[in-house]
Amino acid sequence: MPSTAITESRFDAVLFDLDGVVTETAKVHAACWKKVFDDFLREYARQSDRLFIPFDLISDYNRYVDGKLRQEGVRSFLESRGIDLHGGGPDDSPGHASVYSLGQRKDDMVMERLEEKGVDIYEDGLALVRHVRRKGLQTAVVSSSKNCQAVLQAASIENLFDVRVDGLTVEELQLEGKPAPDAFLKAAELLGVSPDRSVVVEDAISGVQAGRRGNFGLVVGVARKGDAKALKKNGADIVVIDLTTLAA
């Protein structure tokens, strides 16, 4: 088993996913996805005379949506149900049934909930960020969310990351979303570090897959959802429940 020590002699940077690693917004994202998909699936079942099978907050979210760009998550889940929905675009009217509009509806819902309730922090994740910075390592936040900056600002932790690569960056630079390693590789490039001298910290299956495909020096899986075996199977070198175990 690889050493769990994240030291300045072995590494130059640590690349953190945000939702589910440092902030508890993953729960918000999952709940909003369920609302959006269930509304769509209920109407789709009615119109096609099919059985309504709701979106599962655990299996469907973890397998098809978690860690992915919005539209890729929509496509992935709908494909699992045998539903082929056209892509759509920014000109879609509210309530229009398209991949774009479903993703946008979820995004709007997330922003509303964040404005109403704020952002909760995983103290162990925050402790690890501060720990590695004290050791002189650089830090980056790598998120598929286009709301990443708003979440960082709401949580008052934006200054803890030297680089941010998020859903807006991926779109602007036309990068592939997780499980492709592009976003993590871009973060390493912006920091001026090599992947083999960098650590990826992720709670999503698609995220650890991205870390492994990018040949990063250490891929840490955070088992927030009781999915330690799946994280290990999909690319995590080590899996932890509490990130403070790495801040020693």
Q: Which residues are catalytic?
A: 17, 19
Of 40, 145, 135, nearest to 83 by C-alpha is 40
The answer to whether 49 and 82 have CB atoms below 8 angstroms apart is no
As a whole number of angstroms, the distance between CA 89 and CA 65 comes to 20
Question: Smallest Cα–Cα separation from 26: which of 100, 102, 117, 110?
Answer: 110
CA 94 – CA 109 distance, rounded (Å): 13
Q: How far is Cα 4 from Cα 218, in angstroms, rounded to an integer?
A: 9
Q: In the chain, count H helices and then E strands.
A: 10, 6
Rg of the chain over all Cα atoms, to the nearest angstrom: 18
DSSP structure string for 131-172: HHHHTT-EEEEE-S-TTHHHHHHHHT-GGG-SEEE-HHHHHH
- Residue 186, SS3? helix
Q: Which residue has the tokens 């960020």?
A: 129
Which residue is associated with the tokens 């655990």?
Answer: 58
